[in-house]
Amino acid sequence: MYKPLARRVFIGLCFGISLSVSLSQRTKATQRLKVKPNKHYLFKEDSQPFFYLGDTAWELFHRLNREEALIYLQDRARKGFNVIQAVVLAELDGLKQPNPYGYLPLKNNDPTKPNEGYFQHIDYIVNKAEEMGLYIGMLPTWGDKWNQKWGVGPEIFTPTNAEVFGLYLGKRYKSKPIIWILGGDRNPENDTHLAIIRAMAKGLKKGDGGNHLMTYHPQGGSNSATWFENDDWLDFNMFQSGHMAINLPNYEVTSKNYLLNPPKPTLDGEPRYEDHPINWNPKNGWFDEFDVRQAAYWSMLAGACGHTYGNHNIWQMWEPNKKPISAARTPWRKALRHPGAIQMGYLRRLFESRPFTKLAPDQSLIIGNVGEGMDHLRAACAEDGSFAFVYTPTGKPITVKLGKIKGSKVKAYWYDPRRGVAKQIAELPNIGTREFTPPTRGRGNDWILVLDNAAINFSTPGDD
C-alpha cells in the first residue's frame, strides 16, 4: 500500500518539510508484476495486489529534458501514480524532431539501427522512475509508424524489423520496471499490421525473458480484446474510451471484458482527459475533474484492475512556445496541479484500504433503477461478502440489499472522492433494504457508499 502525501501537503508547506518521496520507501515497490489465477487483477511478485494507476505522458522521452522529467516524475509519485505511460518513437514528429539533447531515436529511420544517445536519455528517465517506485508503461512506438492513417509517420515497420526492435528494447530494459504497451492509438486493419504487432511482442518477450507484462493500446472507442484476447503475449486488456462525449459509459467495455473467456484483467488506458475539449471542439466545453472521476469509478466498479488518468496538456508536454495539439491551453507544469490528478490518488487509496482484489461487479446490490447517463449507479461487492462499494455520480440516493454483506451488522460510510475523506453514516442491522441519501446532490457531487461487515473492523475508507 502506498503512502500518499496529499494529506501532508499543507503540513509540509507550513513547516518547510520537503515533499520528496523517500527513495528507501519506494524502491521495493517496483517488483516484477504478474497475473494471478483469478485473472482479473494484477499482483506483485510477492503476491501483494497491484493497483494500476497510470498517467499518460506520451511525449515524456521526446520533449522533456532531464530536469523537467524529474519535476514531472516527482509530482506523479507524490500523487500516488505508479505507472507512467510514455512512447519511445513519439507521436509528435518523433522520428524527425530530436529530443532536447539533439538526438533522433533511429539512424535513417531504421528500427534496426537505434541511436545510443537517444536511448541513454530514456535510460535516465527509466532509472529515476525506478528510484521513485514508478513503472514505465513503455510504448515501443506510436501507431503512425506502422499504420499511419493520420499523423506524421512515416510507416517504418515490417514484421521482420519490428521483431528486431522489440528484441533490442526487451534486452535493454530486461531488469527494469516496465510494462510493455503495444499499439499506440491505432488499430490493426490488415494481416500485415497484425503480423507487425505480434512480431514486436515476440521480440520483446524474447529480449526480456518474459519479465514484463504486456498489453495493447488501441485507438479511441476500441478494445485490445477485439484482436488479441486469445494471444498468449497479451497479459491484460486495455481499451480507450476516449474523448468524444461527456458521460460516456466506459463501464460497458469493462463489463464486457470482465466476462471474456479466457479471463484477463482489463482497464481503460485512455479515458476522457482533464482539460481536453469535448469531442476535440472547445465550443463544446472542456472535460473537468468530475469527468475524470466519473470515468474512473464507473470502470473500477465494473471490474477493472486499475485506471489511467490523462491531462490534455501533460501528454503533449505543452508550453506556450510549442504548437498546441487540439487546443491545449495550460502549460504542463501548471496542469500538474489540476485537481483530477490528486483525486486519482484518492481513488487508489480508497481501493487499497480494502482487499480490493476480492471485488466483483454486482449490480444486484442496488434495489430499483440504476439510472442512465450521468446518474448511472455502479456497485461491486467482495466475493466473500466482507465489503462493498456503490458509486453515485450525482448524489442520487441509493437503495441497497443489505444481506449481500456478511455479518450481523453493517458499518456504512460516505467517501468523498473530491477530498479523499470518509464519514461514518451508522452501524446497522444487516437485514432488509436501506436507502442512503448522500450529503449533497448534482453534477460534481459524486459519492461512494462503503458498506463493511462490522465484525471485520476495517480501517476508515481511504486510510492506510
Per-domain residue ranges for the chain?
24-352, 358-456
3-state secondary structure of 265: coil
Could you tell me which residues are beta bridge partners of residue 360?
381
Q: Provide the CB-side half-sphere exposure for 385 (13 A, CA).
A: 12
Fold that domain 24-352 belongs to in CATH: TIM Barrel (3.20.20)
Q: Domain spanning 358-456 has what CATH number?
A: 2.60.40
- pLDDT tens for 323-354 read 999 999 999 999 999 999 999 999 999 999 99
The Cα 224–Cα 139 span in angstroms is: 14
Question: Measured in whole angstroms, how far is the alpha carbon of residue 317 from the centre of its chain?
Answer: 18
Kindly report the average pLDDT of the chain as a whole number: 93
* CA angle (463 as vertex; 459, 464 as ends), nearest 5: 90
Q: Residue 37 pLDDT > 80, yes or no?
A: no
CA distances from 200 to 140, 233, 236 (A): 9, 10, 17
Q: Residue 21 pLDDT > 70, yes or no?
A: no
**Rounded average pLDDT over 424-433:** 96
Match 532536447 to its residue by C-alpha cell. Answer: 100
The Cα 49–Cα 360 span in angstroms is: 15
Q: Answer with the residue of higher pLDDT: 315 or 262.
A: 315
- pLDDT tens for 246-255 read 999 999 999 9
pTM, two decimals, is 0.94
**Rounded average pLDDT over 424-431:** 96
pLDDT of amino acid 24: 33
8 A C-beta contact, residue 292 and residue 338? no
**Rounded average pLDDT over 409-420:** 98
**Rounded average pLDDT over 262-285:** 97
Crossing angle of helices 251-258 and 289-300, in 10° steps, is: 20
Q: Residue 27 pLDDT > 70, yes or no?
A: no
The Cα 316–Cα 83 span in angstroms is: 17
Q: Residue 394 pLDDT > 60, yes or no?
A: yes
8 A C-beta contact, residue 2 and residue 12? no
pLDDT of amino acid 179: 98
Q: What percent of the chain has pLDDT over 70?
A: 93
8 A C-beta contact, residue 298 and residue 249? yes
Neighbours of 373 (CB within 10 A): 10
Residue 25: pLDDT band by 50, 70, 90 thresholds?
A: very low
Residue 16: pLDDT band by 50, 70, 90 thresholds?
A: very low
Residue 29: pLDDT band by 50, 70, 90 thresholds?
A: low
Question: Nearest-CA neighbor of 415 among 439, 433, 386?
Answer: 439
8 A C-beta contact, residue 390 and residue 405? no
- pLDDT tens for 175-184 read 999 999 999 9
Q: Which residues contact 4 (CB under 8 A, 6 or more apart)?
A: 79, 80, 345, 346, 348, 349, 420
CA distances from 188 to 51, 162, 222, 232 (A): 29, 14, 11, 18
* CA angle (166 as vertex; 165, 169 as ends), nearest 5: 90
- pLDDT tens for 229-243 read 999 999 999 999 999
Residue 127: Cβ-neighbour burial (10 angstroms; 0-12, 13-18, 19+): exposed
Maximum distance among all alpha carbons in the chain?
71
Q: Residue 317 pLDDT > 50, yes or no?
A: yes
Neighbours of 320 (CB within 10 A): 8
